[in-house]
Amino acid sequence: MALTNTQYDEIMHDYERRRTFHRNELNTRIKEVEDHVPGYLDLSQSTGSISADFGRRLLLGEKLKRGKLHELLSDVASKKKKLLAEAGYPDDYLEMKYDCPICHDTGYVGSEKCVCFKQRIIDRLYAQSNIRKLTEAANFGVMSDEYYSGEDLERFRGAVRTSKDFIKNFESSYPNLLFYGTVGTGKSFLSVCIAKELLDTGHSVLYFSAVSLFSLIQTNSFDFKKTDELNALYEDLYNTDLLIIDDLGTEHITNTSVPQLFSCINERLIRNKSTIITTNLTPGEIKAMYSDRVASRIASNYHICKLTGNDIRMLKKMQFKNGK
């Protein structure tokens, strides 16, 4: 699970806050019962005196049965339970409540992370990835090939197989993907499908449109006051398990954006981190626009999938209008 130390600490602090909240709730309920149930407070206070008296008798050499103290305390507990029931309180009214009954809001079961902890990690990774809303409409569960036919259909089905292989081999071969082709043929859709599957298994994903990514880099690069922000951005770009750069070629290309793209691609290859790029550009156009070095890194290290066909977004719009 890919969490920074800060993120981990935030989750653990949240668990502590939850435990504190429920302890305070329990103390309030105990005070309520002691104030309103006659005899309950006396029974609660007798527990300590019974234990102290039992210990004193043992120290004085009195031979007592090993289970005697347990019997005495159990008798007190039974009387307290009876008083609660007679006063109309449920049996578990004075039991500690937990948001997670499995780990009792500690985040761990033994040395293993609880399922609730794993879900918190996934939730944070989704928030960090900029992709939560996209995965609601783009996932393998809603995928359809009804808008493709002929060669376009074969290409789409091949891209789907490649996408699923990408997920299957993600932790072993650090795969990279380039989806290219005409507008609206499913390139971004498939990249988001992949992202959702990986996020759901606790991998970190960052999703940027090319426009927003290079705009963010440029903004931080030319403001010396934002050096820390720029360094943190590069650290995230280089180290996230999966980086998605969507619609490469739609951004404003400058003298600095080309080396920035190369640096990002190259550094992630060095660190064995996977990248997905989607673009309307052909490999030849990528070479012409971004340099031989960028094109060479992609050609040598990326599985390249071409998607063709009608603009599915436009087809859906037409169907919606006709349906009205």
Reduced 3-state DSSP string for the chain: CCCCHHHHHHHHHHHHHHHHHHHHHHHHHHHHHHHHCCCHHHHHHHHHHHHHHHHHHHHCCCCCCCCHHHHHHHHHHHHHHHHHHHCCCCCCCCCCCCCCCCCCCCCEECCEECHHHHHHHHHHHHHHHCCHHHHHHCCHHHCCCCCCCHHHHHHHHHHHHHHHHHHHCHHHHCCCEEEEECCCCCHHHHHHHHHHHHHHCCCCEEEEEHHHHHHHHHHHHCCHHHHHHHHHHHHHHHHCCEEEEEEECCCCCCCCHHHHHHHHHHHHHHCCCEEEEEECCCHHHHHHHHCHHHHHHHHHHCEEEEECCCCHHHHHHHHHHHHC
Query: Who has greater pLDDT, 195 or 55?
Result: 195
Boundary (domain end) residue, out of 81, 112, 143: 112
Is there a domain that residue 125 lies in? no
Same domain, 81 and 156: no
Same domain, 166 and 71: no
Same domain, 215 and 295: yes
* Structural domains counted in the chain: 2
* Domain carrying residue 102: 5-112
Query: Who has greater pLDDT, 121 or 90?
Result: 90
Max intra-chain CA distance, the chain: 95
Is there a domain that residue 121 lies in? no
**Distance from C-alpha of 135 to C-alpha of 139, rounded to nearest angstrom:** 6
Is there a domain that residue 124 lies in? no
pLDDT band at 197 (very low <50, low <70, confident <90, very high): very high
Same domain, 34 and 179: no
Same domain, 58 and 198: no
Q: Is the pLDDT of residue 318 over 80?
A: no
Same domain, 304 and 185: yes
Boundary (domain end) residue, out of 112, 147, 175: 112
pLDDT band at 320 (very low <50, low <70, confident <90, very high): low
pLDDT band at 224 (very low <50, low <70, confident <90, very high): low
What is the structure's pLDDT at 65?
79
Same domain, 74 and 221: no
Is there a domain that residue 122 lies in? no
- CATH number of the domain encompassing residue 164: 3.40.50.300
Same domain, 308 and 170: yes
Is there a domain that residue 117 lies in? no
Is there a domain that residue 51 lies in? yes
Is there a domain that residue 136 lies in? yes
How many other C-beta atoms can be found within 10 angstroms of the C-beta atom of residue 164?
Answer: 15
Q: Return all residues near 155 (Cβ < 8 A) that are at least 6 apart.
A: 148, 181, 305, 306, 307, 308, 309
Is there a domain that residue 176 lies in? yes
Boundary (domain end) residue, out of 55, 86, 112: 112
0.85 surpassed by pTM: no
Same domain, 155 and 20: no
Same domain, 180 and 309: yes
Q: Is the pLDDT of residue 1 over 60?
A: no
Give per-residue pLDDT as tens, 231-247: 777 888 898 899 999 99
Same domain, 281 and 134: yes
Same domain, 214 and 256: yes
Give per-residue pLDDT as tens, 284-309: 999 999 999 999 999 999 999 999 99
Give per-residue pLDDT as tens, 156-189: 999 999 999 999 999 999 999 999 999 999 999 9
